[in-house]
A = this chain, B = another copy of it.
Amino acid sequence: MIKVGVLGARGKVGTEVCRAVEAADDLELVAQIDVGDELDALVSSGAEAVVDFTHPDAVMDNLEFCIDHGIHAVVGTTGFDQQRLDTLRGWLENQPRTGVLIAPNFSIGAILMMRFATLAAPFYESVEVVEMHHPTKADAPSGTARRTAELIAAARREAGLGPVPDATSTGLEGARGATVDGIHVHGLRVRGMVAHQEVLFGGVGETLTIRHDSLDRVSFTPGVLAGLRAIADHPGLTVGLENFLHID
Contact = CB atoms under 8 A, between A and B. Distances in A.
Copies of this chain, whole number:
4
Interface in A157-199: 164-180, 184-194
A54 interface: no
A169 B139 CA distance: 6
Interface residues of A, number: 79
B216 A204 contact: yes
Given A205-B218, A216-B204, A219-B205, A188 B130 contact: yes
A82 interface: no
A203 B174 contact: no
A138 interface: yes
A125 interface: yes
Given A188-B184, A189-B176, A215 B209 contact: no
Chain B CB within 10 Å — which of A169, A192, A194 has the most? A192
Contacts of A164: 135, 189
A108 B209 contact: no
B140 A176 contact: yes
B167 A171 contact: no
B126 A189 contact: yes
A41 interface: no
A30 to B, nearest CB: 23
Nearest to A188: B128
A23 B3 CA distance: 44
Interface stretch (A32-40, A116-124, A231-239): A116-124
Interface of A: 107-109, 112-113, 115-116, 119-120, 123-128, 130, 132, 135-141, 146, 164-180, 184-194, 200-222, 245, 247-248
